[in-house]
Amino acid sequence: MGSKENHLYFLSAYHLIETCAAQERVHVNKHQHIRSELIKNKFIFKDDTEEIWKNFQKIENQFRPNFVYGFSWTKTDMTNVEVCYKIIEKICLKKLG
């Protein structure tokens, strides 16, 4: 596991969130807009809104840079990415049915 796998988790999480938003006719368009669009459109995830954007933000801002811009990542970082991803995946799959 390494930077390639981490990037795939990041992309998959983004596309899951974008798919749920699109189901409600909302388009995020850029990963940088996840938080603002979900807060503006709380009806997409309702009570899970904060859980979604916080976990995505952790993957994007806390863990992804370690994998993309250097070799300072640890096995714990990868485990943390997987935990955040699984939370996003569970909520999104529940919404998508």
Residue pair 48/91 in contact (Cβ under 8 Å)? The answer is yes
Tokens of 66: 């370690």
* pLDDT attached to residue 53: 96
Please state the rounded mean pLDDT for residues 59-85.
78
Please state the pTM of the whole predicted model: 0.87
The answer on pLDDT for 1 being more than 60 is no
pLDDT digits (tens, 9 = 90+) for 2-23: 556 767 888 899 999 999 999 9
Query: Is 56 strand, coil or helix?
Result: helix
* pLDDT attached to residue 59: 87
Strands (E), 1-97: none
* pLDDT attached to residue 78: 82
Residue pair 71/3 in contact (Cβ under 8 Å)? The answer is no
Q: Assign 65 a pLDDT band (cuts: 50, 70, 90).
A: low
